[in-house]
Structure 1
Amino acid sequence: MLEEKNDNLSLKGNEIDGKTANELQKTIQSETSVVTESEISDAAAEENTVNPVSETVISNENRTDEKQNVIDAIAETNAEESEDETLKERHDIPMLDYDALPMETLVSELKNLVTNEKVMSIKEHVEEIRKAFLAKYNHLIEEKREEFNQENQDPNEEFQYHSPLKSKFDQYYTIYKDNKNVHFKSLQSNLKTNLEVRLAIVEELKELINPQTNIKDTLNHFNELRERWKNAGAIPKDKYNHVWNNYHFHVENFYDYLHLDREARDIDFKYNLEQKLKIIARVQELLKEADINKAFRELQDLHRIWKEDIGPVSREHRDEIWNQFSELTKKMHDKREVLFENLRGTELENLEKKKEIIAKIEVLATEKVNAHSQWLAQIEKVEALRSEFFSAGKVPADVNEATWAAFKTAVRNFNSFKNSFYKDIKKDQNDNLNKKIALVKKAKELQESTDFASTTPIMKQIQEDWKKIGHVPRKYSDKIWNEFREACNHYFDQLKEHKSVENVDEVEAFDKKKAYLETLREFQLTGDHKTDLDAIKLHIETWKNFGKVPFPRRHIEGKFNKILDALFEKLSLSKKDTEMMRFSNRMDHLSESNDTRKLDNEKIFLMRKIEEVQNEIFQLENNIQFFTNTKNAKKENSIVLEVRKNIAIHKESLDVWKEKLKQLRNLNIE
């Protein structure tokens, strides 16, 4: 039970109905007046006739231990807040669900608290932020270490990871610790000094009881001690109750010594009773308050006022009024316990959610997939579950560590399972790296080549080969690609520059061919087969020596071929010779233009034609055999003769196709 010591002699009966605890305390302090000589009736003469009245509240023997525990808990909290006034302000700062916030928001919250709030009023908030941030950060570090171990094959290379976010967190947390240390040093020094001051005041109170001193001087000294006590400041919480009770005890002794008249004492008791009844009425209102935590905090303030600012009441009301107050306190405590039970129920629901999340991650740690794209999907699922876990809210404190450990184990098992897949493909990536290194080396060897006709197809093939090679380890990917690209770009830049020079020669070749084409139109055959054939071959050779023409002007080659076709028709050449000369001229043109694609297509076309003709000849010969093996066949009929004629034509055609293929293969373009 709180001990009630009279600290007020004469109180004015101003109405303060409906005021909160803080307003009530201010009113009591402003309306308190100290005793004067007029309030004492012949104190010196009646010194031995008035029995001293002890105002100490007797403990209620029927009070339950549970009520006492509630009262003691409130008294302990008030003592702690009296020691450090900043603790009272902690209630004004909302406690967020820091476990559900991302790391960036946690750092912002820490910065805001450290910058704008008093150090001891944010103690619980900072520690909750620190716990939530480090849990998330340590989890991140584990993942980064596993990624490092997966990608790094050098056992001598140590894992390092720098997080600017962690640096900011450490910076603000260091500021908080420094501020707290400074605060505690200052607080300890002030508490010690204040305690010495208050103990000295108590000692002076003891000396006031002296019949030899003048009453007026004694009262003045008493008032001075009261004022000094009021301004003495906070003291250590472990000395709080003892020092206050000791002070009140000696104040009451002084009252008894002064032998206050009964009327003044009754007025004092009546006023104190009114104030305590109003506190009881206020507690009854607080029981209806929706914000239970807010109501309980005000209840703590009301207990402080009851003990420290309001004096005793008459004995006939003392136990009754205290029992009412303590009973209401117990009801408020019970409501608060119900709130805590509901919170614990929510925490249990959060625990079930987190267990389900952990179970899902454990399942993902056993689902085997065999493709990178599938693993990306699995990783995305785990990341979503991680976010859901951190957003699920608090769990009961007694299982918090175990739940966190289970979550980390599940994620670690998934990462290990994932890493086993990537370790299997690590060898392939290293093989791909070696292949690409070989291509880079080859490209660098050829990048200065000026034999563009032979080097260009090789460089293009190198690029095609590069595209067919798979992924390489990520740490080498950018470096090797930049080396390869630089070598290729260097070569093709030179090729482009070379072609710009060649274009001048191609334009000149076009002009020459254009002029020569006009001369060729006037060419007339002599009628001598050999002479005319040699002349045509010379024209062809002269035309080839002019060189290539610009691509957009290659139509001039078609005009030249038409003139040749007309000349060949006038010659008495065989169909085969004519065909071969035309083919030879066309192939020479393709060879000069270095058009390997068209040459390859021509080669494929010839091989297919040869195969088709051979199949046709085979079929016709089978048909002949059918007719010649007939018993009644006396001679070859018209159908057989027609088939033999077709066979001869196809064989002649086959010779031409084979000759073309042979000529094409003899070209130096392979």
Structure 2
Amino acid sequence: MSDEKLPQEENEEKIPTTETVSEIENKIEKDKEVLETEEKTTESSSSSESAVEEVSTEETSENNSVEETIVEEKKLVNESSKEDASQVKASEDEEGEDEDEVASSEDEEDEEEHEEKAQKDYSSLSEKELVAELDKLLKTKKIQELKHDVEEIRSEFNSKFNEELEHKKEEFLAEGGNIIDFHYTTPLKKEFNSLYFDYKEKRNSYYKNLKKDLQANIDKRWELIEELKGLLSAEENINTTYNHFKEIQEKWHMAGAIPRDKYNTVWNTYHHHVENFYDFLHLNREFRDLDFKHNLDSKLKIITRAEELGQETDINKAFRELQMLHKMWKEDIGPVAKEYRDEVWDKFSEATKVIHDKRQEQLAEMEKDFEANYEKKKQLVEEIKKAAEDTKPSHQGWQNAIKKVQELRDAFFNTGRVPRANNKEIWKAFKDATGNFNHQKNSFYKNQKKEQYTNLEQKRELIKIAEENKDSEDFEATTALMKKIQDNWKNIGHVPRKDSDKIWKRFKKACNHYFDRLHAQKNEANKEEMVHFEAKQEMLEKLSSFELSGDHKVDVKAIKEKITAWKEIGRVPYNKRNIEQKFNKTLDGLFSKLDLGKKETELIKFDNKLNTLVNREDDRKLQNEHFFISKKIDETKDEIRQLENNLGFFHHVDENNPLVKEVHKNIERHKEQLEVWKAKLSKIKEVRED
């Protein structure tokens, strides 16, 4: 092959000699946008593998075949055909390997990032939340990006629905149903199936269209090759022919992706005819040399930019731009003269190596962090396992465990990336641990539901008893029975939430019906108590507007007369007893306005309190009050003795000493209080003896 032919790893389009470094940078930025678009398409396509169960085998196979043929421009490797292998120089092989290394590094980085983003735990979501999440994904993301998430959602939804299905099946069979007649579904299940069907339809449509596009692109490229071959026999001016060649190159760049398995054949054929065209240009050496000069200027500008990137502090940014430079070098710029070919490539390789070395150092440092993250995530997984093992078999125990595991899950996702080699391993361990926790949790609550249905039957029995006895005329026997079943109701435990309110209302209604009848009967039997109530109500209204005269002796006498009159009225019905509290509250308001001694006020209030307890016939509270007062007397005596003993330490101190005076003051205060407690004790003894 002639030395002037286009090398296998270099491409066609030349950059005009008038371009500056700034213009080269602008071109780089444009190429970045193009490559980013291609990357998104590539990632989306590579992640969208067929997993639709209901799709026919033929459709699934066709979709997978299309996925495998998606061409990633940044991954294309310019391998020569066996027939042309002898024509590729060693320096050209070196260039191809270096570019492959750049592309390979980029691919690995993209794959890691994609895997990291794809990891999302849906196990904590309810069926309703899973349906909403699937609906949201279908509306907001590209169909080719959804496979991982959709399958995770589908797995979790089916797991939860199957548990529910098994429970319903058990209930159906327990009630005597025939398994042949069993059928169960829910509106959520129908909605999920509908969304999943939409996903499959859109996905199939996407890959069918993609296959058509790939075929159209390869047809277009073959047409360009035929057009390129025709240039050699064109009867036209060499300048016109060269411009025609440039147009073919431009169309080639815009032709789009083609099936992967056809790429090498098409690309090598194209290069073969490009080389033939350069052989043809050899007939016009001046024109060819001008073209070589243009290409040399462009490659020198790329080398200059690559060397500048070696000083860039942002290694990732420099590496991404280096990828653009390699793409331009390979695909956009034609060959240079033979005497410069090795030299310019060596300079470009040297600049590339500087950035590669820096990036490898950065990756080595990052790998240390990744290892630390890996260890942290392993520990978090172990804690999730331990949470499942140590959870107490109670509702509160599981609620605490759920909260703890949620915190561990959040910590897992916030920890950061792990080494790529451990990524799938740690993700599987995490999924297994959380899945096991959820399984044990669901098993617990499944058993709880069984207990709740048992409780439900017990409470229905109590409802039956209450309803059968609500109209009983044997109030003495039935009242004890109703109180007993109320106590039993409290001790039975929880029932299914959907039945809780309904059965409680029935039970409450039956009990209230009976006790309303009981109170009505008592009210009828104690009409006198209703008269007492009305009299006290009238007296309370008058007492509320009672005005003090200002003479506390007169006022005290008047208040005591009111208390005596209140006592003489007598008891009120049980359900009206709160009037006593209103009376006491009114008295407290009047006492607060009186200028009485502390002891007198305390005893008057105490008399009223005793009166209330006596009227209620509450012996238990009288007994408690008696015990309380006796205890306070003993405590007060002990305080006085302690203070008097303390005075013994101050026998040599002047009586006017502030500390001594304070002790004497406390002794007097406790003695006064002791007299009040003794007076109260005398009064309560009198009441209890009566």
TM range (shorter): 0.5 to 0.7
Identity level (%): 37
Q: Deviations over 1:494-541 (max 9, x none)?
A: 567777888989768999xxxxxxxxxxxxxxxxxxxxxxxxxxxxxx
Q: Specify the alignment match of 1:215 in structure 2.
A: 236
* Pairwise CA distance, 1:487: 2.0
Q: Specify the alignment match of 2:99 in structure 1.
A: 71
CA distance 1:229–1:412, shift in 2 (3 Å): closer
1:3 is paired with a residue of what secondary structure?
coil
The CA RMSD over aligned residues, in Å, is: 5.8
The structure that is helix-richer by fraction is: 2
Q: Which runs of 5+ in 1 are unaligned?
A: 27-55, 81-89, 512-547, 556-594, 605-670
Q: Specify the alignment match of 1:389 in structure 2.
A: 412
Distance in 2 between the 1:319 and 1:601 partners? 110
Q: Deviations over 1:603-641 (max 9, x none)?
A: x9xxxxxxxxxxxxxxxxxxxxxxxxxxxxxxxxxxxxx
- 1:271-290 aligned at under 5 Å gives the runs 271-290=294-313
Whether 2:310 is the aligned partner of 1:314: answer no
* Pairwise CA distance, 1:274: 1.4
Q: Specify the alignment match of 2:90 in structure 1.
A: 61
* Pairwise CA distance, 1:276: 0.7
1:11 is paired with a residue of what secondary structure?
coil
CA distance 1:106–1:58, shift in 2 (3 Å): farther
Q: Deviations over 1:440-483 (max 9, x none)?
A: 2210112233565764454344323433x141454665554343
Q: Specify the alignment match of 1:236 in structure 2.
A: 258
- 1:148-227 aligned at under 5 Å gives the runs 171=195, 178-210=201-233, 214-216=235-237, 220=240, 223-224=243-244, 226-227=246-247
Distance in 1 between the 2:158 and 2:414 partners? 15
Q: Specify the alignment match of 2:27 in structure 1.
A: 22
Q: Which amino acid aligns with 1:320?
A: E
* Pairwise CA distance, 1:156: 5.9
* Pairwise CA distance, 1:317: 0.8
Whether 2:353 is the aligned partner of 1:348: answer no
Any conservation in 2 of the 1:16–1:24 contact (CA below 8 Å)? no
Distance in 2 between the 1:159 and 1:355 partners? 43
Distance in 1 between the 2:201 and 2:308 partners? 42
Distance in 1 between the 2:224 and 2:379 partners? 64
Any conservation in 1 of the 2:12–2:249 contact (CA below 8 Å)? no
Any conservation in 1 of the 2:391–2:401 contact (CA below 8 Å)? no
Distance in 2 between the 1:21 and 1:194 partners? 28
Q: Specify the alignment match of 2:321 in structure 1.
A: 298
- 1:446-485 aligned at under 5 Å gives the runs 446-449=469-472, 455-456=478-479, 458-467=481-490, 469-474=491-496, 477-485=500-508
Distance in 2 between the 1:145 and 1:484 partners? 32
Distance in 2 between the 1:168 and 1:294 partners? 43
* Pairwise CA distance, 1:434: 5.9
Q: Deviations over 1:32-56 (max 9, x none)?
A: xxxxxxxxxxxxxxxxxxxxxxxx9
- 1:263-278 aligned at under 5 Å gives the runs 263-278=286-301
* Pairwise CA distance, 1:193: 2.9
Q: Deviations over 1:114-169 (max 9, x none)?
A: 6566666xx3xx4564577678x479849x94998799888769998979699679
* Pairwise CA distance, 1:321: 0.9
Q: Deviations over 1:303-341 (max 9, x none)?
A: 232233222211111011122223434444454445554
Q: Which amino acid aligns with 2:293?
A: K
* Pairwise CA distance, 1:108: 9.0
Distance in 2 between the 1:253 and 1:62 partners? 21
Whether 2:9 is the aligned partner of 1:3: answer yes
Q: Deviations over 1:321-377 (max 9, x none)?
A: 122223434444454445554554444323212322233344445548587655654
Any conservation in 1 of the 2:28–2:325 contact (CA below 8 Å)? no
Distance in 1 between the 2:326 and 2:346 partners? 13
Q: Which amino acid aligns with 2:290?
A: I
* Pairwise CA distance, 1:394: 4.3
CA distance 1:185–1:57, shift in 2 (3 Å): same
CA distance 1:410–1:155, shift in 2 (3 Å): farther
2:90 is paired with a residue of what secondary structure?
coil
Any conservation in 2 of the 1:201–1:225 contact (CA below 8 Å)? no
Any conservation in 2 of the 1:151–1:473 contact (CA below 8 Å)? no
* Pairwise CA distance, 1:392: 3.6
Q: Which runs of 5+ in 2 are unaligned?
A: 1-6, 32-84, 176-181, 535-570, 580-613, 624-690
Q: Which amino acid aligns with 1:14?
A: E
Q: Which amino acid aligns with 1:317?
A: Y
Deviates more, 1:396-405 or 1:281-290: 396-405
Q: Which amino acid aligns with 2:258?
A: P
The structure that has the greater radius of gyration is 1
CA distance 1:320–1:59, shift in 2 (3 Å): farther
Scaled by the length of structure 1, the TM-score of the pair is 0.54
CA distance 1:225–1:432, shift in 2 (3 Å): closer
- 1:94-113 aligned at under 5 Å gives the runs 97=117, 99=119
1:4 is paired with a residue of what secondary structure?
coil
Scaled by the length of structure 2, the TM-score of the pair is 0.53
1:72 is paired with a residue of what secondary structure?
helix
Of 487, 496, 499, 2:510 maps to 487
